Amino acid sequence: MTKADWDIVKKKLSFLQVPVIMIIDGYKVYVRLVMVSTYKNAIEIYINDKFKGEWLMNDCEERRRFLQCKEKSLLTAEDKKRRAKLSKKLQRELAEMYPGKYKYYSPFWTSFSAMKKHLIANNKNIELIPD
């Protein structure tokens, strides 16, 4: 896709519920801006006109190519403060035994540039389907 095509996609995704359809390495990818909560919007992604919950749990092509990987800490801010007061050796041992983070995948992108970067990095051929 050219820079002009990406500009068209970005412009369309600035309005709620306006669909953008792309063909990405043989997959028909449908994206649109949706409201996730009262004051928060995100870009929602569908692959071949559907979204399967199993893509969130199992490692597969769709998950690697199109979904956003997020990392979250199991420790609260208070736990982190307590851990920081321990000796460096004990902190290292605890970090090895209990990493304190987990990864999960989401069909929602809160940043257009992050989505664009991910799609370009994980796919070879991206084509915009005109209206």
The predicted-structure confidence for 26-83, as pLDDT tens digits, reads as follows 999 999 999 999 999 999 999 999 999 999 999 999 999 999 999 999 888 898 899 8
Q: How far apart are CA 72 and CA 52, in angstroms?
A: 23
Q: What is the pLDDT of residues 72-108, one digit of tens each?
A: 998 888 988 998 999 999 988 888 888 888 999 999 9
In contact, 45 and 110? CB cutoff 8 Å = no
Domain-wise residue ranges, the chain: 3-67+107-128, 72-103
Q: Name the residue with tokens 């919007």.
A: 41
Pick the closest to residue 82 from 73, 74, 91, 72 (CA basis).
91
